[in-house]
């Protein structure tokens, strides 16, 4: 029998196969999937306009996968009608146009919170999943730094105190 | 004494010029104490430590948290994945 709540979370150096990932979280009862993917933007116009040659991603893999699991659990608590969840971050050198991340949620119908769940997933990944990127532009290399500072509320519920 | 491993990521790794190091700490060492020790041992890290995030055994940890024997500690900047 199919897993009633398939959950995929991974850090990978491989190409993100969006179709394959969505199919892995599609159940016989699924009728809707909301998929967010981000890709490397070669030309930035908003704010500090600049060109990007490529991004170099790295992760603290075991913690990143643990925090992805936490994000998936938070989605399930908030949107119990979500059936499948996939959260995958690609790392390594990634050129403009390349998908870097995928958050996908499936549900029986589109009005059950799948859009909000996927949005929550990418926002939360950018807060608590330990992944970093270095931007390489014609002007040189710069680490991109996030602005979220986790607090005790970002610790996984039920994780053992240190 | 507690033996721990410290991992550095992103800018912190560049500044420390290493991926990881082993340390021996008194048993009562807190995260805030470790930050001071690291700033002494690795001058390149000094500027970055006040804003660095800390994980102990792969979970976020804060200044008042103790560092247990055998811990895997990580220092890194605010995350920027996606």
The nearest alpha carbon in chain B to A64 belongs to: B58
Contact B78, B9 (CB under 8 A): no
Yes or no, beta carbons of B9 and A60 under 8 Å apart: yes
- Tell whether the model's pLDDT for residue A161 goes beyond 90: no
The answer on pLDDT for A74 being more than 90 is yes
Instruction: State how many domains chain A has.
Output: 1
The residue-averaged pLDDT of B23-42 equals: 96
CATH number at residue A139: 3.90.1170.40
- Residues from chain A that touch B27, judged by Cβ atoms under 8 A, are none
Q: Which domain holds residue A73?
A: 7-145
Confidence of residue A157 (pLDDT cuts 50, 70, 90): confident
Cβ atoms of A77 and A41 within 8 Å: the answer is: no
The reply to whether A154 falls in a domain is: no
CATH of B2-76, one of 3.40.50.720, 3.10.20.30, 1.10.760.10, 3.40.50.150: 3.10.20.30
User: Residues of B with CB below 8 A from A16's CB?
Assistant: none
Percent of chain A whose predicted confidence (pLDDT) is above 70: 96
The ipTM assigned to this model is 0.96
Each residue's pLDDT tens digit, A79-133: 999 999 999 999 999 999 999 999 999 999 999 999 999 999 999 999 999 999 9
Residue A43 placed within a domain = yes
pLDDT at A1 over 90: no
Burial label for A21, CB within 10 Å (0-12, 13-18, 19+), is buried
Residue A1 lies in a domain: no
A2 within domain boundaries = no
Of A38, A126, A162, the CB nearest to B79: A126
Q: Which strands form A92-94's sheet, in the order they lie side by side?
A: A92-94, A54-59, A131-137, A140-144
Mean pLDDT value across residues B11-36: 96
Question: Distances from the Cα of A23 to the Cαs of A16, A86, A106, A109, A146, in angstroms?
Answer: 13, 10, 10, 16, 32
Indicate whether A153 belongs to any domain. Answer: no
SS3 at position A37: strand
């Amino acid at each position: 029998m199919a897993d009633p709540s398939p959950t995929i979370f991974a850090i990978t150096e491989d190409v993100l196969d969006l179709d394959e990932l969505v199919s892995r979280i599609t159940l016989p009862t699924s009728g809707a999937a909301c998929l967010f993917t981000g890709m490397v933007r070669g030309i930035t116009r908003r704010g500090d306009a600049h060109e990007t040659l490529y991004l170099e991603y790295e992760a603290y893999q075991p913690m990143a996968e643990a925090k992805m699991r936490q994000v998936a659990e938070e989605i399930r608590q908030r949107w119990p009608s979500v059936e499948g969840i996939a959260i995958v971050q690609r790392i390594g050198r990634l050129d403009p146009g390349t998908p870097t991340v995928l958050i996908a949620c499936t549900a029986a119908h589109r009005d059950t919170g799948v859009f909000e769940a996927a949005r929550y997933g990418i926002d939360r990944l950018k807060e608590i999943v330990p992944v970093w990127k270095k931007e390489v532009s014609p002007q040189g290399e710069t680490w991109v730094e996030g602005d979220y500072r986790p607090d005790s509320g970002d610790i996984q519920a039920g994780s053992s105190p240190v | 004494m507690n033996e721990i491993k410290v991992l550095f990521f992103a800018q912190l790794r560049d500044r420390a010029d290493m991926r990881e190091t082993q340390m021996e700490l008194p048993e009562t060492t807190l995260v805030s104490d470790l930050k001071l020790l690291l700033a002494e041992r690795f001058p390149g890290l000094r500027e970055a430590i006040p804003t660095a995030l800390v994980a102990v055994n792969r979970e976020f940890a804060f200044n008042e948290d103790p560092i247990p024997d055998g811990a895997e500690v990580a220092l890194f900047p605010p995350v920027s994945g996606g």
